[in-house]
Amino acid sequence: MDLNVIVYNKTRKLAGHSFKVAAPQAVTVAELKKLIEKTAGVPHALQCICYGSEQLEDSIRLEEIGVRSGYTIYSTPTLVEIPNLPNL
């Protein structure tokens, strides 16, 4: 499935930029974060994935919550500080 991913990340100058990410229907949120990292360059450890108004846990499969091809997912910075990674 093809997803629209809108990335909010000011320090990497991606705030509000939209990317297309191809993912299998049964992809987990953790796997999606790694696909977004490859596409947008935002470290997966710093991403918080939201769909609608819900923050998604890494273990959730997108098909479980009804995400289909063409839907929009949001990647926002986490509030967790991780050593050796820049603040977003």
Q: Residue 23: which CATH number?
A: 3.10.20.90
Tokens standing for residue 70: 């063409």
Which domain does 48 fall in, by range? 2-77
Look at residue 88 in the predicted model and tell me its pLDDT: 46
Q: What percent of the chain has pLDDT over 70?
A: 78
* Residue at 9 is within a domain: yes
Look at residue 19 in the predicted model and tell me its pLDDT: 84
> Mind listing the pLDDT tens digit for each residue in 24-77?
989 999 999 999 999 888 888 888 999 988 999 999 999 999 999 999 999 887
Look at residue 56 in the predicted model and tell me its pLDDT: 94
Burial of 78 from C-beta contacts in 10 A (0-12 / 13-18 / 19+): middle
**Global pTM value:** 0.80
* Residue at 88 is within a domain: no
* Residue at 85 is within a domain: no
Tokens standing for residue 19: 């990317």
Overall average pLDDT of the 4-12 stretch: 69
Structural domain tally of the chain? Answer: 1
